[in-house]
Structure 1
Amino acid sequence: MAHAESVRVVFVDAETEEEFARTELAPGQLPDSFEYETRLDLGGESWAVVRADPPSAAQFLRSGSLVLTLRRIQTVDPQEMAYSLPTIFDPLPPTEDSTGSGEHFVIHEDDWRQAELVSRQLAGQVEAEMRAIHEVFRQSSRVVGEGASSMRVFDRIHVRRTPIDPLSTEVSLRRLSELLPVGGRPYAGVRIGDDPGRVVDSFVIAADPLVVYGQALGDRVTVLCLAPLLDAATESAAGLEQAMREFDLVLADWCSGRLLDASAVGAFLNQA
């Protein structure tokens, strides 16, 4: 079957769905297929092929025409990059294949251990990390935007690696469950981002609208974190405050650089 000596190519912008250029190309200037990710350089700019009609050389060489829908590839000056958070914890916990049924509580990987309860005995380690976060606020942050749309961004991020074991005292999962009013959906564990696996030894207590999650070995809690939602209930705050007093815990609100006692937990939840 005869093939066209040249192919008429129409370029369409994926953002506007409008044609912005057309040309005639020899068969050797086009790939055999657009079924895989393809990039083109047009006028000194890089474009990604979103859709090709038709997608294969056999088809567009036979018809003599090809429509390419492209999206401009934006490049970012590294000097202009900024973080939305001043700190994250590394490493993330290991995961395992999820067994059994039940929904998982899913968090973004940057949110792991961002608001957590820590044994008061480890306050020295916590305060050292807090000082590093305060330095990020002072030296490497700025406010962008105006009014209600303004936000603080960070030119660098502090990666926390301590405390490795945030609970140096015995914290009972059973007792914690008794103190918190369970009113939300039951969760089978914690998942992080797109990882389909379940965080090893993870648990979730849904005391709507407060979610308490972490890891536990049997009844002994080893990591204890909070995910407060809007308008956290007073009874949730009261139960959490009692747990903090019973187990001698303090609340590390890492993203704001604050270390809070039990008496301040209610205000923390109401501000979330």
Structure 2
Amino acid sequence: MSPAEVVRVVLVDAGTGQEFARTELSAGQLPDSFEPATRLDLGGEPWTVVRADPPTATEFLASGSLVLVLRRIEQVDPREIRYSLPTFFDPLPPAEAPTGTGEPFVIHEDDWRQTEMVSRRLAGQVEAELRAIRRIHRQHSRVVGEGASSVHVYDEIHIRRAPTAPLATEVPQRRLFELLPVGGTSYTGVRCRDEQGRVVDSFAVDAGPLTVYGQSQAGRVTVLCLAPSADAPGPSAAAECAAGLARAMREFDLLLVDWCGGLLVDASGVGDFLNPA
């Protein structure tokens, strides 16, 4: 059988399963094959090929007919994009193969360095970043939902790239753990949710109402972050944790930054930060 010069093409919407158009195309207007995810422009609208029957030119030119199952590619108006957070830090730290037999502390990628300690001498850099975040809270946020299920969403996000080295003063890891009420779970490091390996040089330990995590090199902490623990602590555990954090902040001259909340807290305000009224 000689190849057909014209192929009858039936177009089917993958969403509805219904045929929506028929046409005839010459052999020169058709590709050698229709691989899945091939994009087509139909009347100025983009579509992607879900399935072609038959898939190759040899077959549909021999039969003279072709069925294309297509899915419309939805175009998103950038003005309609909403974010669940006003800020995140970029770039993420590199990952390495896990070591040891224990479990890592797993966080969402966007949660890396969202609540952290910074050296007081970097307060100028921190305030510049916080001004950008507070502007997003004022001008680009709204509440979706009602009551306990309501959440803030943002139509703009601030990507932080500073401070790159948040601890400008030396923070020995051993001394830090002496000051904090560290106990319970000690993790093998930190793993971002979608990564296979752990964050390079990372550590994470349980400190009552918080998990203290970050990175250290040669016994010196270079990144020091906080995340809520899964279990709700009692009042005494929360007070002990706040006191330990305050001691560490005073000894190493640190400030606590809640980036998403747009807050900068010194040692005297840690208790209220952990236990808001």
Which category of TM-score, normalised to the shorter sequence, fits these structures?
0.7 to 0.9
How far is the alpha carbon of 1:130 from its aligned partner? 2.0
Structure 2: 5+ residue stretches without partners: none
Distance 1:209 1:65 in 2: 66
Percent identity for Structure 1 against Structure 2: 56
Instruction: Judge which range, 173-182 or 29-38, deviates more.
Output: 173-182
User: 2:183 maps to what in 1?
Assistant: 181
Give per-residue Cα distances to partners, 1:156-196, cap 9 Å, x unaligned: 33333333322234434345556233337x444434745x5
Q: TM-score, normalised by structure 1?
A: 0.77
Matching residue's letter, 2:142:
V
Written as runs of structure 1 = structure 2, the 5 A alignment for 1:68-217 is 68-93=68-93, 95-98=94-97, 100=99, 104-138=104-138, 140-143=139-142, 145-147=144-146, 151-174=151-174, 176=176, 179-183=181-185, 186-191=187-192, 193=194, 196=196, 198-205=198-205, 210-217=210-217
Instruction: Judge which range, 247-256 or 162-171, deviates more.
Output: 162-171
Distance 2:211 2:2 in 1: 66
User: 2:247 maps to what in 1?
Assistant: 246
Distance 2:192 2:150 in 1: 31
- Structure 2 CA distance for partners of 1:23 and 1:107, relative to 1, 3 Å: farther
User: 1:266 maps to what in 2?
Assistant: 274
Tell me the SS of whatever aligns to 1:256.
coil
Given that 1:181 and 1:239 are in contact with CA atoms closer than 8 Å, whether structure 2 keeps it comes out as no
Instruction: Judge which range, 230-239 or 257-266, deviates more.
Output: 230-239
Given that 1:169 and 1:247 are in contact with CA atoms closer than 8 Å, whether structure 2 keeps it comes out as no
Distance 1:25 1:143 in 2: 50
Tell me the SS of whatever aligns to 2:215.
strand
Tell me the SS of whatever aligns to 2:32.
coil
- Structure 2 CA distance for partners of 1:4 and 1:75, relative to 1, 3 Å: same
Structure 1: 5+ residue stretches without partners: none
Tell me the SS of whatever aligns to 2:49.
strand
Give per-residue Cα distances to partners, 1:8-34, cap 9 Å, x unaligned: 333232333443333333322221112
- Structure 2 CA distance for partners of 1:267 and 1:206, relative to 1, 3 Å: same
Given that 1:10 and 1:19 are in contact with CA atoms closer than 8 Å, whether structure 2 keeps it comes out as yes
State how many pairs are aligned. Answer: 265
Give per-residue Cα distances to partners, 1:198-246, cap 9 Å, x unaligned: 4332223356885432111132211112232555434764554243122
How far is the alpha carbon of 1:39 from its aligned partner? 1.0
- Structure 2 CA distance for partners of 1:238 and 1:218, relative to 1, 3 Å: farther
Instruction: Judge which range, 201-210 or 64-73, deviates more.
Output: 201-210
Matching residue's letter, 1:76:
V
Give per-residue Cα distances to partners, 1:17-67, cap 9 Å, x unaligned: 443333333322221112264111223311111222332222222333333
Written as runs of structure 1 = structure 2, the 5 A alignment for 1:3-18 is 3-18=3-18
Q: TM-score, normalised by structure 2?
A: 0.76
Distance 2:87 2:56 in 1: 47
